[in-house]
Amino acid sequence: MLNRKAYLIFKPIRIIVMTLLLTVWNLSCSSDNAISEIQKEGRLLVLMRNTPTIYYEGPEGPKGFEYDLVKAFAKHLNVNLKVKIYDSLADLLDAIQQGEGDFASGAITKTEDREDVYSFGPDYYTVQQLVVYRRGTKAPKNIEDLTEFEIQIIAESSYEERLSALKEDYPDLNWTVTDEYSTEQLLQQVWRGELDCTVADQNIVAVNRRYFPGLEVAFPISEEHSLAWVINPQKASLGDELEEWLDSFEEKGGLAALRDKYYSYTELYDYVDLREFHKRINWRLPQYRSWFQEAAGKFNFSWTLLAALAYQESHWSPRAKSPTGVRGIMMLTRQTAQSVGVQNRLDPYQSIMGGAEYLARMVERVPDSVYQRDRIKFALAAYNVGMGHMEDARILAEKLGYDPNSWNELKEVLPLLTQKKYYSRLKHGYARGTEPVRYVGRIRNYQNILEAKFAGAGQPD
C-alpha cells in the first residue's frame, strides 16, 4: 500500500485520470443519447427548405432528392420523419444552431468558413457554382465581364462567400443580396428578364431550367464543393450515425437510385422541346387531364406519369400516327389496341384507357426480382421496346456482371443490343437499345415538370 506521502503525491494524477475517464464516459453516453432519444420519441425532426431540389409537395405527397434521402435515414432508425420548413437558408442555419431540429438539410454547401461555425455531417452530393443569364440577352464571358451586369444572390450563402473572394482580384465586381427570395425565385426573375444574372449550384440550375426554358449557363465561378447536412450542435453523434448509414446506403445502390430519379433526366435538356411542352401544358393538356386522372385511378398509376407517357408518344395529339402504324394519343399498335379492347385508336378517351391498361400489363410482367423502385422504369422501357428485348437485356446484364434487377445498371446494357456480337446470341435479336433508355428518361423528365407545375413548386406564372 502507498504511504500517506506517496498518496498525496499521486492524488493530483488520480484526479486527472478520473476526470478524463469521466469525460470519456460522458461523451460515450451523450453519443448514445442522440440516437436513443430520437428513437424514444419515435421521430426524426429535419429542418428543410421548400424547393424542387430539396422538398416539395407533389400530387402524391412530399418529394425531393433530399427529402427522400432523409426519409430513408428515418426508416433506418425505425422512426417517423417530421419536416419543418424555413423560408431562407439564413433562417435554416440559425434554427439548427438554436437546436430547433435534429439536423438541417437544405442544399447546404460545406465551405471552410462554415466549417468554423457549423457541425457538418457526411457529404452526399457535389456541386459547382454557375453564373446564369437569360437566353437571347448579352452573355457575360468571364468574371471581369460581370462588373457590367446586375447580379443578385441569396443572403448568407456560399455564393456570397465566393463572390467576396473574387472581389479581391476584381474590385469593380458588385452584387446585391436578398433574404426575401430563394435561389429558385431569382432564377425565375432572370428567366423573366427582371434580373441580369444570378449564381446557383449546378443541380439547382439543371432542375429549374426545365421549368424556365431559356435559362443559360455563362460559366462556373468555383471548383466543385460538397453538399452536407448541418447537425444540431447538441447532437454531434448524429453525424457519425449518418456517415455510417450513408456508406451502407450508397453501397446498396440507394444513393445512385435517388440521383437517377431526380437528376439523370436533367441531362436531356432541350430548349425547344421544353418551351413547347410548357405551352401545351396550358392549352392542350386541360382537354385530357380528367381522363388521365380517371385512368390513373383505375390502374393505380400517377396521372402525371400517364400524361408524361402520352406526351412522349404523341405530344398529346389524338390524331398522331407514325410510319410504323402506331396511332393515337398513346400511340398504340393495332394489335395492342385490340388486346385492350380499344375499337378506335383515334378516340383519345379509348386510347388513354387502353394505354394505361397496357402499361399495367407490362408492370405485371416485370419479374418479381426487379427492385420495387425500378419496376415502373422497366415497364416503360418494355412499353417502348417490348418485354422480349428487356428480358434479353437482363440475360446479357447477368453475363456481363451487371445487376439485371437494377435500372441504373440495365440502362448501361440496353445499348449493347445494337451490337451483333451481343444480339446474335440473344433470343429476340437486334434492338435499338439506346431508344428505351432515352424514352424512360424523357418521360421521367416530363413527369417531374408536371408534378412541380401542379404542386405549385418552381413553375412559371
Catalytic residue among 184, 313, 357, 451: 313
Set of cell numbers at residue 241: 450515425
Is 378:409 a contact under the CB 8 Å cutoff?
no
d(CA 125, CA 157): 17
What secondary structure does DSSP assign to 350-410, as a single string?
A: HHHHHHHHHHHHHHHHS-TTS-GGGHHHHHHHHHHH-HHHHHHHHHHHHHTT--TT-HHHH
Set of cell numbers at residue 384: 417502348
Is 238:35 a contact under the CB 8 Å cutoff?
yes
d(CA 125, CA 25): 34
- Which residues face 80 on adjacent strands? 43
Distant-in-sequence, close-in-space partners of 262: CB < 8 Å, separation ≥ 6 = 53, 64, 65, 68, 207, 448
Is 213:206 a contact under the CB 8 Å cutoff?
no
Q: What b/e string do you get for 50-86 counting C-beta neighbours within 10 Å, with b at 16 or more?
A: bbbbbbbebbeeebbbbbbbbbbbbebbebebebeeb
d(CA 379, CA 368): 12
Residue 142 Ramachandran class (φ > 0 left, ψ -120 to 50 alpha, else beta): beta
Cα–Cα–Cα angle for 369, 371, 372, nearest 5°? Answer: 115
Instruction: Give the gyration radius of the chain's Cα atoms.
Output: 27
> What DSSP designation does 277 have?
H
Q: Catalytic: 313?
A: yes
What secondary structure does DSSP assign to 423-448, as a single string?
A: HTTSTT----THHHHHHHHHHHHHHH
Rounded (10°) angle between helices 375-385 and 348-365: 120
Question: Maximum CA pair distance of the chain?
Answer: 106
Q: What b/e string do you get for 445-457 counting C-beta neighbours within 10 Å, with b at 16 or more?
A: bbbbbbbbbbbeb
As to burial, measured by CB atoms within 10 angstroms (0-12 exposed, 13-18 middle, 19+ buried), residue 388 is middle
Set of cell numbers at residue 276: 413547347
> Which residues form the catalytic set?
313
